[in-house]
Amino acid sequence: MPLQQEHAQIAAQYTRIRQQFPKFDELIATYDYPHFDTLISDLWQALYSGETTLIEEDSVNYVLLQQLFHSEAFLKLHGNAKGNLLLATLTTWRFSYVTGEWLKKMTDEQTPADVDEQPAASEEELDYEASSNSSGAGSDTLSPAELATLFGDAEALAAWQDMLDEELQEVEEVSSNVDELLRGLAPSVGAGDAGKVPIQEQLALAAELAKNPELQKIAEWAGRFKLKARNVRKTKQVRTILKQGMTTGNAAERLLPIEYLKSEAAESKLDFMHRFAEGRTLMYDYKKRTKKGKGAFVVCYDESGSMQELDVEGKGFVLALLAIAKKEKRDFVFIPFSGDVGYSDVKVFKKGRYSVRDMLDVAASYIGGGTNFEAPLREAMQHLEKSAKDGDIVFITDGMCHISDDFIAEFNALKDKKQFEMLSLLVGYNKHEGLLPAVSELVLKIHDFEDEQGAVAFTL
């Protein structure tokens, strides 16, 4: 191998990674070049160990590694990849892909266009070619000298560097997305839960992210909402949504409905603004929860067709709520619904624990269709019956739907018995609460999931 030092432990670690990450074998099968498997092994070990000193030799791998180690893209990742299984593996995967694509392009350009018009070789010539290529190299494989000449060509070198730079961005984004999805409510990148997840699951998640741009966006939203959740949960005494009379102040998410009406009416808007600025507007006073809730955290999430545009953002919001449940070791129930509940997609995470596959299933869930409120609330009731007291329900929808009087009475009776509280988030531009106030302690109208009022859900 061209690397000056080979570490037995690191070589063994690479063997384990290769067994857990089939993408390397896929590359070797796709790009049938001599010693491509050795190139991947050397590149991974160089990244993970930090060792980039090469023994000069007349080989294609030596020329390729020499160029890789001096590329700007490699140098940007090299320091962070040392000792980092995920980053070393992602970088090796994407840079090996670039190398295979670039070699394919260069060998294709070296092959004469009129090769089919060449005179047929004699049987003796074919036997000689077969014996001289017994190592597996095809007749169109570049030699080390030809490869070095290509790297001396400005256009070929520029194409190589552009491809590496593109993959550099991909590696950084995927690595960041893995961290955003696995980090929980840890305060900084690379901390907390992400490092506790087995590398095989991290790599599987990275492979999913690399092929799914929508999942990458969900990961970015999840990271953003987890940061917001951490900020709003800093206080030890968290306000519950249970109403306890009235007071005055300027907390927008707690204003009485009459104050919202005054803020929109032309004749009272100026008076409202003065009172709001001075903290004199009427708002709900809430009890304070002095200990963490032990009941389940139930999220009913509307997946009707009208929610599709906000679904990526919304799934990031739900994953932030899941991170809260995991931190507090609370049961978490995800109930997707539209015209009915997506029963096959209902997920129950005991004490907030979940696998990467579970998380991907939540992110991928989508039903479409109409809207029915009773079906998800009845499903929630099944879980309330089994749960400890003092839990929370977050009901997320953009629609309005009839709820029968009999069901309202039945639902509220169980909610009182189990001491659950329900927060409803009415997303979008629907101004009509319908009958949600009849089953909710609080209904908040938010334009989208970034709306500051929606952060109340992170206090539960």
- DSSP string across 109-126: HHS-TTGGGSPPPPHHHH
* Helix, strand, coil percentages for the chain (3-state, nearest 5): 60, 15, 30
3-state secondary structure of 40: helix
Which residues on adjacent β-strands are paired with residue 298?
Answer: 333, 393
Instruction: With beta carbons less than 8 A apart as the criterion, state whether 1 and 38 touch.
Output: yes
Cα–Cα distance, 221 to 214 (Å, whole number): 11
pLDDT value at position 371?
A: 84
pLDDT reported for residue 116: 47
The reported pLDDT for the residue numbered 393 is: 94
Query: What local confidence, expressed as pLDDT, does residue 135 receive?
Result: 35
What pLDDT is stored for residue 346 in this prediction? 93
Q: Strand pairing of 238-249 and 281-289?
A: antiparallel
Which domains are present in the chain? 8-211 (no CATH), 238-288 (no CATH), 290-459 (3.40.50.410)
Coil, strand or helix at 114 = coil
Contact indicator for 66, 75 with CB cutoff of 8 Å: no
Residues 263-279 as b or e (16 or more Cβ within 10 Å = b): beeeeeeeebeebbeee
pLDDT at residue 136, as a whole number = 37
**What pLDDT sits at residue 137?**
37
- Mean pLDDT by runs of 10 across the 460 residues of the chain is 69 92 93 89 92 86 91 91 93 93 81 49 44 38 85 89 92 92 70 72 92 94 92 62 67 76 84 88 66 78 91 96 92 92 90 91 88 92 88 90 92 92 90 86 91 89
pLDDT in tens, 306-356: 898 999 999 999 999 999 999 889 999 999 999 888 888 899 999 989 889
Task: Please give the structure tokens belonging to residue 453.
Answer: 């009022």
pLDDT in tens, 68-86: 999 999 999 988 999 999 9
Predicted confidence at residue 20, as pLDDT, reads 92
In angstroms, rounded to a whole number, what is the distance separating the alpha carbons of residues 198 and 454?
Answer: 33
Q: Contact, 17 vs 44, CB < 8 A?
A: yes
CA 43/CA 64 separation, integer angstroms: 10
- The residue behind tokens 């030799």 is 57
Q: Quote the CA–CA distance of 388 and 399 in Å, as a whole number.
A: 30
- How many residues in the chain? 460
- What does the pLDDT read at residue 241? 54
Residue 84: what pLDDT? 92
Check if the beta carbon of residue 140 is closer than 8 Å to that of residue 110: yes
